[in-house]
Each structure stands twice: as structure tokens, then as C-alpha cells.
Amino acid sequence: MKQLDIFKALSNKTRLDILSWLKDPEASFPEQIHAGFEVGVCVGEIQKKAGLTQSTVSEYLSILQRAGLVESTRVGQWTYYKRNEAAFEELSKMIQSDI
Amino acid sequence: MKQLDIFKALSNKTRLDILSWLKDPEASFPEQIHAGFEVGVCVGEIQKKAGLTQSTVSEYLSILQRAGLVESTRVGQWTYYKRNEAAFEELSKMIQSDI
DNA sequence: TTGGAATATCGGAAAAAGTCGATATATCTT
DNA sequence: AAGATATATCGACTTTTTCCGATATTCCAA
């Protein structure tokens, strides 16, 4: 069930924080050297801000991605993650109609 | 954090089912003898439909209540639970603005 | 083509959630 | 007051989630 995966993905403080940071990357992260923020934010920056290990943050990002809440783009050795705003709109509507 | 409690409450298949049943009690439950559906549905009916033990369902309902998603009314020996629709509207908006 | 940097994946220990049966509490009936 | 019924709480066990360190993979640069 897809709903369930979304709610599980949102059931963790750090993952909620990450989503909120990605809402305004310019404000939440220092300048990125290798790409503009349009592509998203790379794992390393998110990891530093989260204060958890690299493996944990990588895992968290993939949980968010499997839930459809973020999208990733690989550019060279970096993977950039950004929010999938459409998913949040859908979620908002889904709560009004399906739940 | 309140958001987190809401998402945790929604991170369980049975609890999602209960919320959906409570959306249309007349359709989801046999007639209640001791009260109309305005007050909600009693724990026993929900338990039968969920197919889990009484203790588990009671616990689930209190998780939903702590998250603010349902409200309870005690009438005699029965506790009736119903949805708190305002909470779902708030949640829907919260997803659009806060998350 | 080798070394280094960024990310992903794997295996495991600890904490949390799911679920049960037994028991406690509250209320109704007689 | 006693027994019956509905619900809540407790203690235990199992499953899932959290989070780590170690290792694998991918890609870049010299």
C-alpha cells in the first residue's frame, strides 16, 4: 500500500527535517560548488546538516524517494536530491478524500 | 513534536482502515443497539471488524486519539469513537504549508 | 590505471512498535 | 452486593525501525 509507505517515510524526525531543509535550499545549506540548487542538494551537505552518518542519511533519502517525496539526479560523483512538490499536493488531496 | 505523532499514528494499516471505516459508520458497521452513529462507533464493533484482540484495538484507538485524529465519548459501559474531521483538514493544510 | 571522493549497500546491535493474554477498572443489571 | 459486560492497562514476546561501521560501487583526476 502506497499511502502507508508515505506515512512511514514521514514518521521520522530527521526525515521531516530533511524535507523542510529542501524546501528552501539556499537558506538551509551553504553554497554548493559543483551545481546550482535547481538540481537539488547533494547527499554530503544533507548529511552534515543532519549530523548522522553517511549511510544513515543515504538510506533515509532512499526511503523518501521510494515514497515518491523526493527525486534524485546523479551528476558526476554527486547525487542531488530535491523535493517532488507534486507528491505533496497529491498527499494533501489524498488526505481530504481517501483517508 | 505533534506532526510526528500524527504521521506515526497513520503508519499502520489497521489504523488507516479504522479511520476509513469511521468515515461512513452506517456502511461499515452493523446497526448499533445502544446508540446512534452520531456519537461514533463502540470499541467492540471496531474490534470485530479489525480482527485483532480487544487490547490491541483499544491501544490503537488511543494512539489515534492522542494524535487528535479521533474523539471518544463514554456512554455507560461503552466508549464511542468518531473521527475528528477538523484534524484532517488541518493536516491537509499543514502538508501544504509546514512540511 | 590508480587513487581518491561521493554515494550506496550490507550486516548487526539497540530501540521502538505490534500484538497477544491476563488482569484491572468501570458500569450496568438484578 | 454480585455477576456480567465493555473497555483500559500491564507484562511479555516478536517484528520492524533506527542507526552504526565496514565494504562495495561509481566516477573523476592525475
pLDDT for B76 equals 95
| B33-73 pLDDT tens trace | 787 888 999 999 999 999 999 999 999 999 999 999 999 99
Question: Contact A94/A43 with Cβ under 8 angstroms?
Answer: no
What residues make up the domain containing A48?
Answer: 3-98
B10, B11, B99 ranked by CB distance to A16: nearest? B99
pLDDT for B1 equals 57
Asked if residue B52 keeps its beta carbon closer than 7 A to nucleic acid strand C, the reply is yes
Rounded-to-10 torsion of CA A50, A53, A55, A56: -50
* Three-state secondary structure call for residue A34: coil
Q: pTM for the whole thing? A: 0.94
**Nearest one of B30, B36, A99, B54 to B62, comparing CA atoms:** B54
pLDDT for A1 equals 58
CATH of the domain at A74: 1.10.10.10
Tally of domains within chain A? 1
Cα(B7)–Cα(A66) distance, integer angstroms: 17
User: Touching check for A20 and chain B: CB below 8 Å?
Assistant: yes
